[in-house]
Amino acid sequence: QADGLLGPAAIRELAQQLDLRPTKTLGQNFLHDANTIRRIVRTADLRPDDVVLEVGPGLGSLTLGLLPAVAHVTAVEIDPRLAELLPATVAARRSDLAGRLTVVRDDALRIRELPGPPPTALVANLPYNVAVPVLLHLLELLPTLDRALVLVQAEVAERLAAAPGAPAYGVPSVKAAWYGEVRRAGNVGRRVFWPEPNVDSGLVALVRRPPPPGDRLATFAAVDAAFGMRRKGLRAALARWAGSPAAAEQRLRAAGIEPTARGEQLSVTDFARLAATEEVQP
Ligand code: SAM
């Protein structure tokens, strides 16, 4: 590739160099299609002064696509072999952009701070089994992130972007909506990855907006409780959370929510209002 992007031959070569056997537990499926990389970068709507946080750069497929478009990329990679190889890969293919990259060898779920300039956008082909917790952790940790574009399993993309009342609406939808406006931003087939995963993927875009009034942890506790027993009406589902079915009913009514409603019908603002109601003393 003239632009330094990694195609199938380059991915194979880099993997051989490391004697890499991609692991499922770390969600190691690497993009080897330059058109998909270009599409992701285009969809991310980046500005030249953006500082991008990339989680799981792997062999560098997406990193090489991001570097020409932005001021800086901070890449957090858990696998030490991949973290170590990345600067060399970038130097070999785009030495002019190597100064824009910071690689951090760490677990994205455990980072508490990042070196370098504060990131403004998250763009990542996320490891699938931890995609939702990673996304939520980073949005909470880094208030400077005002946008995210992530590639996740298609089913997770649907859940993240679901609106109240939709069949896929659940805990990830409400928690993501705490941080911003979420929408699906396209489908990605399995053939563009090596190794090929056995599910399709989807892009999800989030634009940050101020959270609803209320306390995040209290709201999330109400969300977890409401969806913990999906089949039940909220009066029953929230009984343990509130102390008793009667207390749940009282708090639901105080928040202007029908006790027979189901969690699937409530927006994040409804949950925040519910969590803010006075606890009922037994
Ligand atoms: N960005 C590369 C691409 O598109 O080809 C690789 C994406 S692959 C789906 C996910 C990457 O995340 C792998 O490189 C894996 O080692 C890394 N990873 C897995 N769990 C991680 C975690 N908790 N923190 C940081 N990186 C992680």
pLDDT of residue 279: 84
Give the residue numbers of the binding site: 29, 31, 56, 77, 107, 125
- Please provide residue 73's backbone torsions phi and psi, each rounded to the nearest 5 degrees: -125, 125
Task: Give the length of the chain.
Answer: 282
Residue spans of the chain under pLDDT 70: 230
The residues facing 194 across adjacent strands are 30
- For residues 146 and 151, give the distance between their C-alpha atoms in angstroms, rounded to a whole number: 17
User: Which residues, 6 or more positions from 111, have their beta carbon under 8 angstroms from its beta carbon?
Assistant: 76, 104, 141
pLDDT of residue 53: 98
Distance 43 CA to ligand 1 centre (A): 20
pLDDT tens per residue across span 231-249: 789 999 999 999 999 999 9
Tokens of 236: 């029953």
- DSSP per-residue letters across 76-122: EES-HHHHHHHHHHHHHH-GGGGGGEEEEES-TTT----SSSPPSEE
Q: Are strands 193-194 and 121-125 parallel, antiparallel or unpaired?
A: unpaired
Ligand 1 atom nearest to 76, measured from its CA: 25
Residue 35 CB neighbour total at 10 angstroms: 9
Q: For the chain, report the end-to-end CA distance as a whole number of angstroms.
A: 69
CB 107 less than 6 A from any atom of ligand 1: yes
Q: Are 201 and 188 in contact (CB under 8 A)?
A: yes
The helix (H) or strand (E) run that includes residue 154 is helix 154-161
User: Which residues, 6 or more positions from 95, have their beta carbon under 8 angstroms from its beta carbon?
Assistant: none
- Please provide residue 123's backbone torsions phi and psi, each rounded to the nearest 5 degrees: -135, 120
- Please provide residue 201's backbone torsions phi and psi, each rounded to the nearest 5 degrees: -125, 165
Tokens of 116: 């370098």
CB 108 less than 6 A from any atom of ligand 1: yes
- For residues 226 and 258, give the distance between their C-alpha atoms in angstroms, rounded to a whole number: 13
- For residues 2 and 243, give the distance between their C-alpha atoms in angstroms, rounded to a whole number: 64
The closest alpha carbon to 186, from 40, 23, 21, 38, belongs to 40
pLDDT of residue 231: 76
pLDDT of residue 281: 77
Distance 27 CA to ligand 1 centre (A): 6
Q: What is the pTM of this model?
A: 0.96
CB 82 less than 6 A from any atom of ligand 1: yes
pLDDT of residue 104: 98
Report how far Cα 68 is from the mean position of its chain's Cα atoms. 23
| 20 to 11, 15, 82, 106, 127: CA distances (angstroms) | 11, 5, 9, 19, 17
pLDDT tens per residue across span 102-161: 999 999 999 999 999 999 999 999 999 999 999 999 999 999 999 999 999 999 999 999
Distance 201 CA to ligand 1 centre (A): 15
pLDDT of residue 278: 87
The residues facing 123 across adjacent strands are 149
